Amino acid sequence: MNVVQELEKWAGELGLNPPPDALAGLAAFHGALVERGRERGVTALREPGEVFRELILDSLGAAAHLPAGGRVADLGSGGGAPGLPLALVRPDLSLVLVESLGRKVTWLQEMVLALGLGDRVQVALSRSEDLARDPAHRASYDAVVAKALASLPVLVELALPLLRPGGRLYAYKGPALGEEIEASRRALIELGGRVQESIPYRALDRERLLCVIEKDRPTPDRYPRRAGIPERKPL
C-alpha cells in the first residue's frame, strides 16, 4: 500500500496538515513495523493494512487536540503507538515514551534515531507507577496519551499523577467508553480529574472515541499505588 497517499486522503478528516517529511516518516515507521515488528516482539500485527489502521492512522486521532508546544507522555508505548506518529506530525511537541519491557525499549530507541526524533523524543524504561513518583516527572506533563494499555479506571490512576493541574489525559477508546467512564467515577474523584469530552473519529472502517480527562486539582501523594496494584485492584 502507498502509505503517503493514504495519509494524504485522511489528513483533513483528522484535522491535520502534516508536512511532506512527516508523511515520509510515517511511511518509514509503517514499513519498519510491517517488516520487523512481529519478529522483534513489538506487535502481533503483520498485514500492512492492519498495521496502517491500528498503529498509524488510529494513533493520529489525538494529533489535532494536543496542546501547542506541550510536554507529552505516552504510557505503555510498546512499538511506538501512538507516540511516534504523534511526534512526526506535531513537531512542536516533546514526548517521553514510557515502556517497561526491555526489548520494546530497544526498539523504541532505534526508531527514535531512525526517524530523526532524538532532539525531542525520549524513551523511559519504567513502569508508569514508578515514573509518577519521580520528582522530575510527577505533575510535570501537559498531556498523557495511552492506547490499548488498560481500562479507564486504571489509566486514570496511572496518568493523572503525571499531569500538571489543567493537563489532560487522551485515552484512545472504542464503543464501550460509556461503561468505562461510569466505572471510573471513584477514580476520578480520588485522583482529581473530570471527563472533559469524548471526541469521535474514524480509522478507515472503524469508529473510535478519544476520551479527554482534565486534571482539575492536585492528585494526593498516596497515588499511584505500587506497581501492578492499579491493574489488579482498580479504584
pLDDT digits (tens, 9 = 90+) for 176-195: 999 999 999 999 999 999 99
pLDDT of residue 125 exceeding 90, the answer is yes
CB-based contact 8:57 (threshold 8 Å) = no
Three-state DSSP class for residue 96:
strand
pLDDT of residue 83 exceeding 90, the answer is yes
Report, as an integer, the average pLDDT of 153-178. Answer: 97
How many Å apart are CA 153 and CA 64, to the nearest integer?
25
pLDDT the model gives residue 20: 87
Report, as an integer, the average pLDDT of 121-126. Answer: 98
**CATH 3.40.50.300 for the 3-232 domain, yes or no:** no
pLDDT digits (tens, 9 = 90+) for 192-208: 999 999 999 999 999 99
Q: At a CB cut-off of 8 Å and minimum separation 6, what does 81 contact?
A: 54, 55, 56, 58, 59, 147
pLDDT digits (tens, 9 = 90+) for 3-49: 999 999 999 999 999 988 999 999 999 999 999 999 999 999 999 99
pLDDT of residue 59 exceeding 90, the answer is yes
pLDDT of residue 1 exceeding 90, the answer is no
pLDDT the model gives residue 106: 98
CA distances to 14, 20, 27, 197 from 65, in Å: 10, 20, 22, 11
